[in-house]
Amino acid sequence: MLTLTATASCAGAPVAFSATLTPAVANAVISWNFGDSAAGAANVATGPAVSHVYASGGTYTATATVALPTGTLTAQQTVAVGAPPVLNLAPRQRMLCAGQTLSIGTSGQPAGTTYRWSDGPTTATRDVRAAGRYVLTATSPQGCTARDSVDVQVAPLPVVRLGRDTVFCAEQPAIQLSAGPQPAGTTYRWQDGSTAATFAALRPGRYRVEVRNAAGCTTRDSLLVRDQPCPVTIPNIITPNGDPLNQAFVLKGLTAADWNLALFDRWGHRVHYQEKYDNSWSAPNQPDGQYYYLLVNPATGSKYQGWLQVLH
């Protein structure tokens, strides 16, 4: 009688086979066929104790044959080879932005599969926040294991400071907004869709910027620009001599067209009058000297008055 035994195993690990001949026969040669045609030449062996590695899980039938003077004995042994879990944590290099979480793990494993991560958790998936290598070991219900790992790096967020809220008056130059110095590879998106590193604020409103670094991490900031009346500046000297400076009596901080202007010489004679002033008076046909102005807003009754020096 030919009796066979086999140990349980998993794909990729050796299965041990043994054959016992009763009664024992000296110099008997036992030939094995492991029922694994995909193994090629490794599918056969000889001897009372042999082993074979099955590449895939499944049920296999191994056959042992021994030739005796009285005839040939054949016996078979069914072997259940467990399949390890199929783990694929790719991509295995992950980038995480500071302060955010990343979900890693596996799904679709058979019921009864157990899990253990290198740092302790026992779930199939988990969230991570720190840099490091995370190794997952999955064990099938048959005790077969598989491992895979993910390397996580943490990238810093861009530091963006537009500054404190500020004020704007219509006569001042544009307020230049900047997200601050940033490394190469940084991109910008302002509230109007523009993508320059700076933005010229020309009117009151809320301005926003999103800054994205080369790692894909983003930071947002905003700044409120409030409307503020411009300070009233009325010149006390004009020099209409053809150079670019102080050529006319220009009001700043006032809408000139809202005001009526009267100008008087030092003896009180009115030398100029204009309703809805347009910032254009340059003392035409008037000598150098001191003049006096009176500005009246007919809508509100407000007044400004003072002196003005003319130097050609």
- Domain covering 237-310 in this structure, CATH number: 2.60.40
Whether this prediction's pTM lies above 0.85 is answered by no
- pLDDT tens-digit map of 73-120: 999 999 999 999 999 999 999 999 999 999 999 999 989 999 999 999
| CATH of 2-82 given 2.60.40.10, 3.40.50.720, 1.10.10.10, 3.30.470.20 | 2.60.40.10
Mean pLDDT taken over the chain? 95
Instruction: Report, at the CATH architecture level, how domain 93-155 is classified.
Output: Sandwich (2.60)
Residue 27 or 277, more confident: 277
d(CA 11, CA 26): 34
What local confidence, expressed as pLDDT, does residue 12 receive?
A: 92
pLDDT of residue 20: 94
